Amino acid sequence: MHGRDQLVGIVVLIACGVCAAQKVQFTPAEKSVVLERMKVIPESDRERAAKLRQMFADAGCNGTSLTEQKVDGGEFPNIICRLGSGEGNTIIVGAHYDRASSLQRPLDNWSGAAILPALYQSLRQRKRSHNFVFVAFADSGNQPSGAEYFAGHMPRPQLEHSAAMINVDALGLSPTKVWTAHSDKDLVHALIVMVYTLKLPASQIDIAAMGNTDSDPFAARHVPQITIHSLTQQNLVPGASTQFRPGNYYDTYRLLCGYLAYLDESLKAKAH
């Protein structure tokens, strides 16, 4: 009986969340615009950094809102786009852009980073309760060096006002996946709410076999975090090739747009 009551409680929470989520507002970029950025994948990390900076600028992130952060020991910078006044709480959205070492996986590290400018674009049309910081991390190999440098150089007040870190990795290989075992349960719940609201597919697959992720440095500093990806067990087999699925990629983009807009409202309510 206790298990049934618990299930009913979860269903009620999701239903209440869906009612609130239906009121959030965001403006997704056109499908053609989002997919165009995956047609040609820059080969070198230098080209990727330059391309990301240009894409952020094209999305409307300019001036002091768009910066580069030199990473100690690394050749290339973190690319950072900020939305908001800088006062109050912040939601960090990150993905790494370094070139994958495997020739069979050319798009994995680009697919998450390339979606960041379009996520910024979806939120910028309306005033937000949170600041948003979109970061393309200059990682190295399997080490989240760019993410570690960014998190390690955040002033304590910024860390204390970081409401969430959304880690985006390897999109467009399948419908949206979430690494639940490595994610904050409240952030996972909020994602489920938006899945139901937008009627988009999503499921749970843990990717511990992939090693370190860009969310780790934030988790170590007690920032709530979640990892969203599209890897399947087949993708995790060493040497396995990957096939890009445009429909899945755009679905994940739309889900992320709604998710960020919903977090902006739900985390505000929770803070109060």
Cα 102 from Cα 108, distance rounded (Å):
10
Q: Are 21 and 262 in contact (CB under 8 A)?
A: yes
DSSP for 116-168, written as a single string: HHHHHHHHTTS--SSEEEEEEE--BTTB-HHHHHHHHTS-HHHHHTEEEEEEE
End-to-end, the C-alpha distance of the chain in Å comes to 34
State residue 19's pLDDT score.
59
State residue 14's pLDDT score.
43
State residue 11's pLDDT score.
41
Amino acid identity of residue 110, one-letter, is W
State residue 25's pLDDT score.
87
- Residues 32-68: pLDDT tens digits? 999 999 988 898 999 999 999 999 999 999 999 999 9
Indicate if the pLDDT at residue 201 is higher than 60: yes
Cα 81 from Cα 265, distance rounded (Å):
21
Domain ranges of the chain: 28-271
Specify the DSSP class assigned to residue 191: H
Q: Give the DSSP H or E segment for 229.
A: strand 225-229
State residue 105's pLDDT score.
52
With a CB cutoff of 8 Å and minimum separation 6, the contacts of 174 are 230, 231, 232, 235, 245, 248
Amino acid identity of residue 214, one-letter, is D
Specify the pTM.
0.90
Q: Which ranges in 166-245 belong to alpha helices (H)?
A: 185-198, 216-219
State residue 141's pLDDT score.
72
**Architecture of the domain spanning 28-271:** 3-Layer(aba) Sandwich (3.40)
Indicate if the pLDDT at residue 113 is higher than 80: yes
State residue 24's pLDDT score.
83
